[in-house]
Amino acid sequence: MNKPYAIKEELFVEAIANYMVVKGCAGTTSGNRIFTFKGIAERFDITVDKVRELEDSIVDKLYECAQVCDENGVWTDEDEFNILFYGNYCDVDMESSVM
**Confidence (pLDDT) at 99:** 46
pTM (two decimals): 0.85
pLDDT tens per residue, range 60-94 = 999 999 999 998 899 999 999 999 999 999 975 54
Domains of the chain, by residue range, sit at 4-89
Segment holding 35, helix H or strand E: strand 32-36
**Confidence (pLDDT) at 17:** 98
> Which fold, 4-89?
Arc Repressor Mutant, subunit A (1.10.10)
Q: What is the mean pLDDT of the chain?
A: 88
pLDDT tens per residue, range 16-56 = 999 999 999 998 888 999 999 999 999 999 999 999 999 99
pLDDT tens per residue, range 5-23 = 566 889 999 999 999 999 9
